[in-house]
Structure 1
Amino acid sequence: MADPFEVRMKFTSQLQHLNASVTSAQKAAQYALRHKEMDEDLHSCILEQVERNNMNTRANIMYFIEHFLDSAQKDGHRDYVRMMQRDIIRVVDAVAPDDGSGAANVRVVRKVLHALQNKGYIEVQAVDQIHEVLRERETTSDDLGLNSPNGDVEMTDATPSQTMPKPTRRGGGSQKMDKRQIEQRIEEDRERHKRERENIWAIPAGPDAEMNKMWEETSDWGEDDDRLLAEEAEDFRKEMEMRKCPHRDAINGEAG
């Protein structure tokens, strides 16, 4: 059996070095599942890191949670899912605290919560209650001195050992992030949005996968479709009449 202290330290390091890549999330998730006999201890690592690190690391861990619960569900280890259900409010409070310092993380929290709800990890009622609280914590990116094309900016490349500056309370001025932090956040947001666009166009494996995807995305046949088809048929008939198509005349002659 691996040394508990060593496992904890390694998992903590993986959480601190998460970024926009899927690889970093997969590596941390697989490590936690490989040592699932220490699930309570490793779950506590997640809570500690979202409470102790800078806002960039907290946002990265929030994105990681969705991937982690997917992996845990697939692995059949639902204890990780249950523990996150129990502590989701604590996580949200850490990622987007009510002192205004994590306002730029509110969109990150909303996005992940929406995904967790859709996948059945978090109850709808709990998510709705959290959204009500988040409305009071959200400010525009301009209030924080940020300017991201995607609106989800405040990542940083600061080392995990660096402590967060003391946040300013709402109404007492906004906490500004330096140029280096903003640039990395923008870059990682772009990477995530790029991956999301790729997933939209991705087609599942299988002989009829593309046809099934088109079928699912096509709306049901309705009255508008009947009307459109009738109008197109009428337009085609009028066009044939105007052209006096020889093929049509030949067909009518044979019928006569």
Structure 2
Amino acid sequence: MADPFEVRMRFSSQLQHLNASVTSAQKAAQYALKYRDMDEDLHSCILEQLERNNMNTRANIMYFIEHFLEMAQKDGHVDYVRMIQRDIIRVVDAVAPDDGSGAANVKVVRRVLQGLQSKSFLASQTVEEINDVLKERETAHMDVVMSSPVNSTNPALGDMPASRTIPKPGGVVPPPHLDKKEITQRIEEDRERHKRLRESIWAVPTEPPDAEMWKMWEETSDLGDDDFLLAKEEEEERQRCVTDSCVHLQDEETRKRKSLAANGNRTTLATQ
């Protein structure tokens, strides 16, 4: 049997070194599933790392949770799913706290919550309630940013930077300063995630059979009179293009027109 302390330390290290790649998330998830008999301890590791690390690491762990729950459900270990559902409020508070220090992670939380809802890990009502709270935190953060210039001209504050100015009443403080390395890392990881998101848009599920056909059927709106009129116009335009590009069809069309004109003349003479 593996030493619980060693398992805990290794899993914590994997969480600290998560990045935007799917491989790192899968590796950490497989490790947690391997030692599922210590699920409570490993779940507490996730919460501890969320509350202790910087903004980028918290965002990576938030994305990891979505992969982790999906793998845990496929593996049949629903205890991990239940524990995340139970502590989802604590997870959100750690990734995007109400003191403004995680304002850049608000979009991350929203995106992951949407994914968890679409995969039936979270109820829609729970996600809506959390989004309402996040909207308030985002608004409060914008108030702080607008009222805290980078170089204050207040004589009482002197040249104190915005990250050290006196917080506004209500407990909301300006976000901490990020160094250049953390900013560059976040930009690169967001770029990698966006690229993977664009790739997933074109992914077609293999189950059930004819999944692509049914997907197109669901996304196609009901047919109306405008659709039939448009189809008729497109067919006429297609026939016109074919006729103009083919000499034989042009000759046949000319003969038809001459024949119609001749028949029209005979009709006119007969009536006279």
TM range (shorter): 0.7 to 0.9
Structure 2 CA distance, aligned partners of 1:189 and 1:21?
11
- With over 3 angstroms needed to count, the CA separation of the structure-2 counterparts of 1:209 and 1:188, relative to structure 1, is same
Q: Hey, what does 2:59 align to over in structure 1?
A: 59
Alignment partner, residue 175 of structure 1: 176
Task: Tell me the distance in 1 between the aligned counterparts of 2:165 and 2:221.
Answer: 49
Asked whether the equivalents of residues 96 and 106 of structure 2 are also in contact (C-alpha less than 8 Å), the reply is: yes
CA RMSD of aligned residues (A): 3.3
TM-aligned CA distance change 1:77 to 1:167, over 3 Å: farther
Distance, in Å, in 1 between the alignment partners of 2:34 and 2:225 is 55
AA of the residue aligned to 2:252: H
Q: CA deviation at 1:249?
A: 5.5
Q: Are the structure 2 counterparts of residues 204 and 121 from structure 1 closer, same or farther at C-alpha, using a change threshold of 3 Å?
A: closer
Q: Secondary structure at the match of 1:90?
A: helix
- Name the SS for the 1:18 alignment partner: coil
Which sections of structure 2, spanning at least 5 residues, go unmatched? 147-162, 264-272
Tell whether the 8 Å contact from 2:100 to 2:174 is kept in structure 1 after alignment: no
- Unmatched 5+ stretches in structure 1: 145-164
Instruction: Tell me the CA shift for residue 215 of structure 1.
Output: 4.8
Q: Distance in 2 between matches of 1:169 and 1:63?
A: 31
Bigger relative CO (Cα 8 Å, ≥ 6 apart): 1
Return 209-218 or 173-182, whichever deviates more: 209-218
Q: Within 5 Å, give how 1:181-196 maps onto structure 2.
A: 181-196=182-197
| Higher-Rg member (1/2) | 2
Instruction: State the identity %.
Output: 66
Tell me the amino acid that sits aligned with residue 63 of structure 1.
Y
Identify the structure with the greater helix proportion: 2
Distance in 1, matches of 2:32 and 2:256, equals 74
Counterpart of 2:180, as a letter, is: K
Q: TM-score, normalised by structure 1?
A: 0.79
Aligned residues: 233
- Which one is further off, 85-94 or 47-56? 47-56
- Work out the CA distance in 1 between the residues paired with 2:217 and 2:166: 52
Q: Conserved in 1, the CA contact under 8 Å of 2:101 and 2:174?
A: no
One-letter amino acid of the counterpart of residue 194, structure 1 = K
Farther off after superposition, 27-36 or 213-222? 213-222
Pick closer, same or farther for the CA change 1:209–1:135 going to 2, 3 Å. Answer: closer
Change in Cα spacing, 1:250 to 1:187, as seen in structure 2 (3 Å) is: same
Tell me if the contact between 2:117 and 2:124 (Cα under 8 Å) persists in the aligned partners: yes
- TM normalised by structure 2 equals 0.75
Task: Report the AA paired with residue 110 of structure 2.
Answer: R
Closer/same/farther in 2, CA of residues 237 and 5 from structure 1, 3 Å limit: closer
Alignment of 1:11-26 (within 5 A): 11-26=11-26
Asked if structure 2 preserves the Cα contact closer than 8 Å seen for 1:62 and 1:95, the reply is yes
Give the deviation of 1:191 after TM superposition: 0.5
